[in-house]
Amino acid sequence: MPEFKIQHLTKYTYESAVRDSANQIILFPIKDDYQEVIKHELKITGDPAVDIHIDYYGNEVGSFTHTEAHTRLEICSKIWVSTKHRLYPMDDMFADQQWNDLLRLRYQVQYIDFLRHEYFAGLPEMQQIVEAQKQPNETPYQAALRYCKYVYDNFEYIKGVTTVETTLDEIWKLKAGVCQDFAHILMEMLRVVNIPARYVSGYICTNMRGEGATHAWAEAYIPNYGWLGLDPTNNIIANENHVRLAVGRNFSDCSPVKGVYKGAGEHTLEVVVTVGNDDDVLADYGFKEQDASSDYVPTIKPAKQAIKNSYREYLDIIQQQQQQQQ
């Protein structure tokens, strides 16, 4: 039973002093039969009270307000969590029966949100691809694995070419992005064939794509099994090396930190995630105990440099290459 120690540091730095910073955090790991939270420490600049509630999708959500004037805001979450391996689906039911079972879910409230796909310009092309890849007597489990592999094979993992605001049309046209983009595309493909699919945010605790930051993947609902985690960024089934924070319809439902503030000027955001196993000691890049409410400026381990291309710059490069080949 693996045990992981994870530190997630979020740091906002403002050009000038701001106040009344109201924030929502989803940094509380899911607790179920396959994931146990041993310990959780949370430190926030100004030590505000954090109100916690359970949202519609069953996630623990924290809310706090830092009212005093400040030029930076740090949120440091440290968790100790153990995970268990989950058995894969037996997949021994007739395929037709499983697809019929999925059709009946269209009218059940708990699945409606996870079957409603987003309408975007590339949807007809996606539907054609999905239709062309259908295999006779294929089960939902087999189809889900194949679509996961399709995203992995046909989309390039490149940091910096997309943001959280990048649309599905842009991702579909670019055929590149990061884990959240891969998850969104896979979810749409699954929903096209009436497999309920939901977004998962969390951490990957092994040396794969997505390490060193928050990670994202999808879950597909498989008849007589339940939710199966699929990581299209790495083309694997998400299991004991994936620590889950939240589930929802998309990234917006699961964003680890988001908020608003009063004040002028821009801000910069730095996020550092470090993961250690049971024998490791995490380096402390965030608060020191005596500095939690002082003017302490922590030393932050710089994140790996992302590729500087914007979405538009990268798209221009691809178009130039295509023109040269004509």
H or E stretch including 300?
none
Q: Is 131 helix (H, G, I), strand (E, B) or coil?
A: helix
**What pairs with residue 276 in β-bridges?**
5
Per DSSP, the three-state class of 185 is helix
Q: Are strands 176-177 and 156-157 parallel, antiparallel or unpaired?
A: parallel
φ/ψ of 254, rounded to 5, equals -120, 5
CB of 315 within 8 A of CB of 167? no
Instruction: Quote the pLDDT of residue 213.
Output: 83
Mention every residue, 6+ apart, whose C-beta is less than 8 A from residue 49: 64
- The whole-angstrom distance between residue 240's C-alpha and the CA centroid of its chain comes to 16
Q: What is the pLDDT of residue 45?
A: 95
Helix 140-154 to helix 95-104 angle (10° resolution) is 80
Would you give per-residue pLDDT tens digits along the chain (326 residues)? 889 999 999 999 999 999 999 999 999 999 999 999 999 999 999 999 999 999 999 999 999 999 999 999 999 999 999 999 999 999 999 999 999 999 999 999 999 999 998 889 999 999 999 999 889 999 999 999 999 999 999 999 999 899 888 999 999 999 999 999 999 999 999 999 999 999 999 999 988 887 878 999 999 999 999 999 999 999 999 999 999 999 999 999 999 999 999 998 788 999 999 998 754 544 554 544 333 322 223 332 333 333 334 444 545 555 555 444 44
Spatial distance between the Cα atoms of 286 and 291, rounded to a whole number of angstroms: 10
Q: Are strands 3-25 and 267-277 parallel, antiparallel or unpaired?
A: antiparallel
- Between CA 159 and CA 245 the distance in angstroms is 22
Phi, psi for 256 (deg, rounded to 5): -60, -40
Q: Which domains does the chain have, with CATH numbers?
A: 3-84+254-291 (2.60.40.2250), 95-251 (3.10.620.30)
- Percent over 90 (pLDDT), the chain: 76
Question: Inter-axis angle of helices 179-192 and 123-132, to 10 degrees?
Answer: 70
Residue 219 has which token pair? 């879950």
Contacts of 7 (CB under 8 A, 6+ apart): 76, 77, 78, 272, 273, 274, 282, 284, 285, 286
CA–CA separation, 232 vs 218, rounded Å? 8
What pLDDT does 164 receive? 87
- Judge whether 46 and 66 are in contact, CB under 8 Å: yes
pTM assigned to the model: 0.85
